Amino acid sequence: MRQRMTHNRSTSAARGGFTLIEMLVATTLVVMMMLMFAQIYVAAISSLGEQQAIARNDGKARLADILLRADLRRMSFQSAPGSNQGLLPLVRDDNSVNSGYFYLSENDQTNPVDDVLQFTTYISSKVRNPDQSAYYGRCKAVPGLHAIPLLPGDPDVFSNHPDADDGDTSNGVGASRAAEVSYFVRNGNLYRRVLLLRDVDLQAGGLSSPAQPSDPSTSTEFAARIIPNSAGVGNPSFYKAFDYAAYCRVTGAPATDVTRFIGTDSLENQAGVDECIGRSMNRFGFAITAANQLDASGDPVLRAINRSRGQPVEYDSLGNFFGRPVHAETGSYEWGWPGTRNNPLLDSNLKYGFTKTDQLSYLAGNTSLVDAAVIPSSPNYTRATEDLLIANVEAFDVEVWDSGLEEIDPNGNGIVDLPAEAARDLNGNGVYDVAGGYVQLGHSGVTKNGVTTLTGYMRDAQRLNPDYGPGADPNETNPLANPAPFQGRNWVFDTGHPDMWSDDPARTNWFRPPLRPLIYRFTEDTNRNGVLDPTEDTNANGILDRPNFPVREADKWTSGTLYQLADVVFHPDSLTAQSIAYRCTVSGTSGTSRFVEKPPGQQTPPDGTVTWEAFDNRVGLQKIRITVRLRDSIEGLPRQFSIVHSFANP
């Protein structure tokens, strides 16, 4: 009995444990399960991180997309109603009427982050943007320019002050339906700089300059400078106190200069009017010397150009691209313009990236332009990053539509011979024709499958004035004798102002807009022999000036000449600067007196036995494509989106 019981206890004890093999198997299974759970956890965390990165990228892309589209739809410079021509640069004596300006600078065509897009906007029922909300910006009282009295009997109070534009003089905020908007990339950051135009319809009547702060009760206008002074907290730079477009009117000695606000009335591009914002001297990021503002040249055309044309400054003195000044720089006490004539953009020692913050510096001592005040309660609290739209941007590339990319038939049989000539059929329609496409402004040809098409209205060969743009010296006072040192940067489309350009064939290219495509252009080669004959050099530049394909050649009308059907001429005394040309609709011999000019679409009275019909000779900028690529800073995921904007006005 005792032995049997002992045996049973031993058997029971042995069955209650685990063998070594069982332990190893169990441990292995547990480890495998833990690894599986760890992998699932890591995958879940990674997926969550990617989803968060996608959400961050989508949020940034959506913000940029909304603002870009809204600003473009609010553009003040538009095509004529019912026109598909697009944007047309204004020139002297042109009959075009438009509002504000549009400016695009391509710079290095291989660099996707050095494009500058700048234009004026105006919110009205005519624009294609359903959002009718106004623009708002900072507006602070500065010494000598107060919205409300600081002390009883304050002599520096101007009731027509920008702070009153939103109906409240106590919030330090101004409002307007119009603005000057700039987009550019610097150091991987896409900036959007907005400067309001004073909404003159909000101001009291009876003022000579309603945009200028004034006291209507005494008809007194603000007529002084806004001088920044680091010694006192009440003397900020102009752009630290105001988000308004302005310029410094130079009158002679610096003490007599006046800081002038620019209003919505400046959108009217009237010749001879100083404060039109279409004149580039009045724009943000452009610079003009005091000498050019005071130019007294005997030639009225040269004088008008020198007094109105400022040069865009997008590179420092070492050739580094910075685009436009940012709030972190224009808020510095060292930034004088437009409070004074002291414009750092004119300094020959202007440098970008000298400081650790990659901001501009200037003067021989490398004075850093840093908005350094960091006390939130201070009225001079830093404005750095206020104009930052999105960070970690790898591309902000603006392409233009070129409708003149003609497909060249190498053997002249009129047929796209497949497969050998497939690469020449740019639009893939099986015939040789003119194919449009998006290109870099100032391109040197479009290449498809190794075949380059050297045509187009927007190519480098069509550039009329290579001396205007960010490659020119803004301090140049004799531009006719000194061409731009870096013409390769001057791929610019600028609608300009009638005072800035002349398309008179008798003048050199310096007078002309940088790019103004025409269907026909005046040629000096009147006999088409390809040689500069003694009587053909009308502008005395020693060169036989002929247009480049696809622009066609046309002559000035002459009397007693046999004209064939579809011949094209320009009126010899035309004031339309080649904007209007005339096509022969009834062949014959021209009369002895010059025919009467007519608007496009109308026929002239009989010219001898010839009948002419006027047509608009201009080719506009029809549309653009903006491509933005950004990258999430945490996960490294990229995001790209494109915006296509048409300038047609159906």
pLDDT tens profile 433-458: 667 889 999 988 777 666 677 788 99
SS3 586: strand
pLDDT per residue as tens digits for the range 313-340: 999 988 999 999 999 899 888 899 999 9
Full strand arrangement of the beta sheet holding 388-390: 388-390, 189-196, 178-186, 116-122, 102-105, 492-494
Taking only the tens place, the pLDDT of each residue in 73-104 is 999 998 877 788 899 999 987 766 689 999 99
98 or 620: which leads in pLDDT: 620
E-strand ranges in 383-535 read 388-390, 393-406, 434-439, 446-448, 451-453, 492-494, 520-522
Residues 354-377 pLDDT 10s: 655 678 888 776 777 877 665 555
Three-state secondary structure of 305-332: HHHHCCEECCECCCCCECCCCCHHHHCC
Residues with Cβ within 8 Å of 350's Cβ and at least 6 positions away in sequence, in order, are 313, 316, 317, 344, 360, 361, 362
Bigger pLDDT: 649 vs 204 = 649
Confidence of residue 378 (pLDDT cuts 50, 70, 90): low
| pLDDT of amino acid 410 | 66
Bridge partner list, 84:
none
- Which of these ranges, 96-105, 400-409, 464-473, has the smallest mean pLDDT? 400-409
Q: Per-residue pLDDT for 640 more than 50?
A: yes
Question: Is the pLDDT reported for residue 195 higher than 70?
Answer: yes
Give the length of the chain.
650
Region label for 153, one of left (φ > 0), alpha (ψ between -120 and 50) or beta (otherwise): left
pLDDT at residue 1 in the model: 45
Query: What's the CA angle centered on 435, arms 434 and 439, to 5 degrees?
Result: 125
Q: Grade residue 13 by pLDDT with cuts at 50, 70 and 90.
A: low
CB 136 within 8 A of CB 166: yes
Mapped onto helix, strand or coil, the DSSP state of residue 11 is helix
Confidence of residue 575 (pLDDT cuts 50, 70, 90): low
**340, 227 contact by CB (below 8 A):** yes
Q: Give the model confidence (pLDDT) of 504-519 as tens digits.
A: 888 888 899 999 999 9
Burial class (CB in 10 A: 0-12, 13-18, 19+), 22: exposed
Q: What is the pLDDT of residue 60?
A: 95
Q: What is the DSSP letter of 544?
A: -
Count of CB atoms within 10 A of residue 235's CB? 19
**CA-to-CA dists, residue 498 to 162, 268, 332, 494, angstroms:** 29, 11, 35, 12
If we measure between CA atoms, which residue out of 413, 415, 439 comes closest to residue 429? 415
**Residue 588 backbone class (left: φ over 0; alpha: ψ -120 to 50; beta: rest):** left
* Average pLDDT of the residues in 495-503: 92
Q: From the CA atom positions of the chain, what is the Rg in Å?
A: 33
Closest CA to 53 of 590, 452, 631, 450: 631
What is the average per-residue pLDDT within 120-130? 78
Return the amino acid letter for 222. F
Share of the chain above pLDDT 90, in %: 46
How many angstroms separate the CA atoms of 448 and 291, rounded? 49
pLDDT greater than 70 at residue 261:
yes
Q: What is the pLDDT of residue 373?
A: 63
Counting residues of the chain whose pLDDT is more than 70, the rounded percentage is: 87
Confidence tier at 56 by pLDDT (50, 70, 90): very high
Helices (H) and strands (E) in the chain, counts: 6, 30
Tell me: pLDDT of 4 over 60: no
Q: Mean pLDDT over residues 3-16, rounded? A: 54
pTM: 0.88
The mean predicted confidence, pLDDT, of the chain is 86
The pLDDT of residue 490 is above 50: yes
Identify which has the larger pLDDT, 294 or 210: 294
Q: Which residues pair with 358 in a beta bridge?
A: none
Contact assessment for residue 314 and residue 321, using Cβ atoms and an 8 Å cutoff: yes
Q: Is 469 helix (H, G, I), strand (E, B) or coil?
A: coil
Cβ 294 vs Cβ 354: under 8 Å = no
The DSSP 8-state label assigned to residue 604 in this structure reads: P
Per-residue model confidence (pLDDT) at position 38: 86
Average pLDDT (583-601) is 92
Q: Would you say 144 and 158 are in contact if contact means Cβ atoms under 8 Å apart? A: no
- Write the Ramachandran bin of 208: left for phi over 0, alpha for psi from -120 to 50, otherwise beta: alpha
